[in-house]
């Protein structure tokens, strides 16, 4: 598990300020959801935590250590994108275990981890298939499996379910909640789906125009929205 601290994080692309002085503390093992309208900076903020986008100002710390200049590959995080980004020429087993092969791990250990992940995500029967032989939901399970297998302390999800139909989205939502209960990892999850946010989050971070409007538990935000924007976003009766 990992704690994450952002201090006065700002990010500009040219003259365009995408993130404006973001302060945020995420605790060990928390499930935090970023929500907000399209273009408000959710993905950029997640990428800043991952180390995929450098900040313009401010600092990022993981487990109390500043990692602002530490590259993504050294931060102990795993990223699950909306587009599954699986390798089309590799079967499911290799798509999941590929990254471990470069990590000086024995074949035995790789096999053991693969089996465990396949079991957790119920994809053991799909290991020989290529991505194009999978449904959307199965592909997303494989993408999550690939993140899981490296046993990260911090998972970052960027709208992982938004390409799936409603039934599958609900099923995968339960799977992700179960996953969070089973593995001891902190999770940061971006979505524009209120139901996902309200049901998955320990705390929700509401973003608007690159600023944090409010942070709180789903209950706190729903019952006591700080302003009209938050109320409107969560459908609070106000």
Residues that bind ligand ADP (CB under 6 A): 13, 18, 36, 38-44
Q: Which of residues 32-51 bind Mg ion (CB under 5 A)?
A: 43
Give the one entry of ligand ADP, Mg ion, none that residue 40 binds, where binding means its C-beta sits below a cut-off of 5 to 8 angstroms depending on kind.
ligand ADP
Residue 56 and residue 17: Cα distance in Å, rounded? 10
β-pairing, 57-62 vs 65-66, is: antiparallel
Among Mg ion, ligand ADP, none, what binds residue 102 when CB lies within 5 to 8 Å by partner kind?
none
Query: Is the Cβ of residue 38 or residue 102 nearer to ligand ADP in the bound state?
Result: 38
CB of 52 to ligand ADP, least distance (A): 10
Q: Cβ–Cβ contacts within 10 Å for residue 178, how many? A: 11
Residues 6+ positions from 33 with CB-CB distance below 8 Å: 188, 189, 190, 191, 196, 197, 200, 201, 203, 204, 205
CB of 43 to Mg ion, least distance (A): 3
- Helix, strand, or coil (residue 13): strand
- Of 96 and 158, nearer to ligand ADP (C-beta) is 158
Q: What is d(CA 140, CA 159) in angstroms, rounded to the nearest whole number?
A: 11
Q: How far is the CB of 21 from ligand ADP (least distance, A)?
A: 16
Residue 72: which of 90, 89, 97, 47 has the closest Cα? 47
User: Which residue number, 13 or 174, has a Cβ lying nearer to ligand ADP?
Assistant: 13
Position closest to Mg ion via CB: 43
Rank residues 36 and 145 by Cβ distance to ligand ADP and give the closer one: 36
CB of 51 vs ligand ADP, minimal distance in Å: 15
With CB under 5 to 8 Å by kind, the binding choice for 18 among Mg ion, ligand ADP, none is ligand ADP
Q: Distance (Å, rounded) from C-alpha 186 to C-alpha 36?
A: 21
Q: H helices within 63-161, ranges in order? A: 92-101, 107-120, 136-149
Nearer to ligand ADP, 7 or 192 (CB): 192
Q: How far is the CB of 44 from Mg ion (least distance, A)?
A: 8
Q: Which residues bind Mg ion (CB under 5 A)?
A: 43
């Amino acid at each position: 598990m990992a704690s994450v601290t952002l201090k006065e994080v700002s990010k500009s692309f040219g003259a365009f300020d995408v993130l404006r002085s973001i302060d945020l503390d995420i605790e060990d093992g928390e499930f935090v959801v970023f929500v907000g309208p399209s273009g408000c900076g959710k993905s950029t903020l997640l990428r800043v935590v991952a180390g995929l986008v450098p900040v313009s100002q401010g600092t990022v710390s993981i487990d109390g250590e500043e990692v602002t200049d530490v590259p993504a590959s050294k931060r102990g995080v795993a990223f699950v994108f909306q587009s599954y980004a699986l390798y089309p020429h590799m079967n499911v087993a290799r798509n999941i275990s590929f990254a471990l092969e470069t990590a000086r791990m024995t074949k035995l250990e790789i096999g053991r981890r693969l089996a465990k992940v396949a079991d957790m995500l119920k994809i053991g029967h799909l290991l020989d298939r290529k991505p194009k032989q999978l449904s959307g939901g199965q592909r997303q399970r494989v993408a999550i499996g690939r993140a899981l297998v490296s046993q990260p302390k911090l998972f970052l999800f960027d709208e992982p379910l938004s390409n799936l139909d409603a039934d599958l989205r609900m099923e995968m939502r339960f799977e992700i909640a179960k996953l969070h209960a089973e593995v001891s990892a902190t999770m940061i999850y971006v979505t524009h789906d209120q139901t996902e946010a309200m049901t998955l989050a320990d705390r929700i971070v509401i973003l608007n125009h690159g600023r944090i409007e409010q942070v709180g538990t789903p209950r706190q935000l729903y019952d006591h929205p700080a302003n009209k924007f938050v109320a409107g976003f969560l459908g609070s009766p106000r």
